[in-house]
Amino acid sequence: MVRTMTIKSRIDGINSLLDMEGFNHKGKQRLSHLSDEEIFALCLYRPEDMCIWPNHVKEVQLLLSKIDWVRKQECIQGRSLVMGRPQITAELACAVCKLSCLRHLSDNGFQLVLARKLRVLLSMGIGPGFFEMFFEIEQDGIVTASRRTISIQSAIQFMELYRDELMKPPRIKAKKTFDEFELHDIESGNFSWLDDDGESYLETIRDMPFETYFDELPKVSPVLDWFIATKPVFDKNQLRRGWLFLEKSSDAWHQRNEAGESYDEIISEYPSWDCIFATQLDRNLSVIPIGNPFTIVPLTTPQQLLEESQIMHHCVVTYIENCIWGGTKIFSVREAGNNQRFATAELSLISGEWKLVQLKGKANLELMHRLHVTGDPLAIALNALVDWYNNNSPEQLGNQGREEAKK
């Protein structure tokens, strides 16, 4: 659906951005040339905390400068600019806001961040609790006591590559067949930037033996898993190769893990963790409505996460420390009739509330869109699980998390 703005709301939107002092004359001029949808996106992801504003203004001005340069290059080369799509999408505006937050950390002497908190910061959208979690990030003098830390500078480089990738035109891909969920994922995308809201494009997809489709967004989740697990230090050549280098490195790492990389050391090093749903499992079987084709199995040991990773071909085994901390719960969603694994779900504790933050099928197939399909049995089962956690005095932070919180 196209968001339209009145003249007044457009002016209010630009003024809202200009309230963040620091825009130079060129920046103000470039803001006035943006479309309504681009202004809406920047306003939607405008930082709430004033201390972030200076860095955010710098990032927005840099973004507008980059976009100006890209447009000039496209004109010189006589190419159509991203097929009429807004240059600043909601995803790009969100990425710029996160990058502003990382810059603020760096400018205030932070050098390291806990891996579990960086994962939430980079994978979740900006919303209630984002800045609470942001300010909980420990300073380097304390955080070095934790094994799982990431360099702030590397995280900034990661987000810069992601931002630059989002500025490029959508990739065009082709494949022989779609299953019903993949087709739904494509059809439920926002094609309002096409002249006919994407109707002719979708009809073409359905009719072609080799379906060609726009891969609108770079795949962040698997690349983020690789980034946090391997903690790469990027050199100039790697940065020059861009986001595609990160995706290729991530794919190779995932393939190695799926091929049976040894996790014996990890399995022996870490204990199991508490899960109130698991300890009351017999009573909790009634949480899922009778007749639902799915069951939900809590995973509470490193060995169980490893088995889930190997069978589902993804890297949930790298979430061991998140689970031990207590702010993450992992569940295996299985078909009730034959106990076959269907999906892996992650619940995270965000600002005192449990939320479903990831839902992946085999090989990281994204299934979150199914939660918005009315009557979908998978949505019914998982919404029931989240409701149960938020209504039955769920456990909060584990002992380790409480000790870190005291620091």
Q: Looking at beta carbons, which pairs linking 186-189 to residues 24 or more positions away fall under 8 Å?
A: 186/213, 188/369, 188/372, 189/216
Query: What is the separation, in whole angstroms, between the first and last Cα of the chain?
Result: 47
- pLDDT given for residue 286 in this prediction: 67
**Phi, psi at residue 360, to the nearest 5°?**
-125, 140
Closest of 44, 153, 133 to residue 88, by C-alpha: 44
Which H helix or E strand runs over 206? helix 199-207
Q: Select from 295, 69, 40, 34 the least CA-distant residue to 164.
A: 69
Query: Token pair 């590559």 is at which residue?
Result: 161
Q: At what angle do helices 53-77 and 90-107 cross, to 10 degrees?
A: 130
Please state whether beta strands 353-360 and 341-350 pair in parallel, antiparallel, or not at all (unpaired). Answer: antiparallel
pLDDT tens-digit profile of 335-375?
Answer: 988 999 999 999 988 777 888 988 999 888 888 888 888 88
| Per-residue CA distances from 139 to 19, 65, 87 (Å) | 30, 33, 36
Domains of the chain, earliest start first: 7-167 (no CATH), 171-215 (no CATH), 269-406 (3.40.630)
3-state secondary structure of 318: helix
Q: Would you give the DSSP letter of residue 366? A: B
With tokens 């006589």, the residue in question is 78
In the DSSP assignment, the letter for residue 216 is -
Q: Give 113's strand partners.
A: 150
The amino acid that residue 328 corresponds to is T
Closest to 350 (Cα-Cα) out of 104, 136, 138? 136
Q: What is the pLDDT of residue 175?
A: 56
Cβ atoms of 95 and 162 closer than 8 Å:
yes
Cβ count within 10 A of residue 38: 21
If you search the block for the tokens 């420990």, which residue do you land on?
Answer: 138
Local mean pLDDT, 10-residue blocks, the chain (407 residues) = 62 89 91 89 87 92 89 65 69 91 87 77 60 52 59 93 86 58 63 75 64 64 85 89 91 71 62 75 68 90 88 84 83 91 89 85 84 88 89 51 38
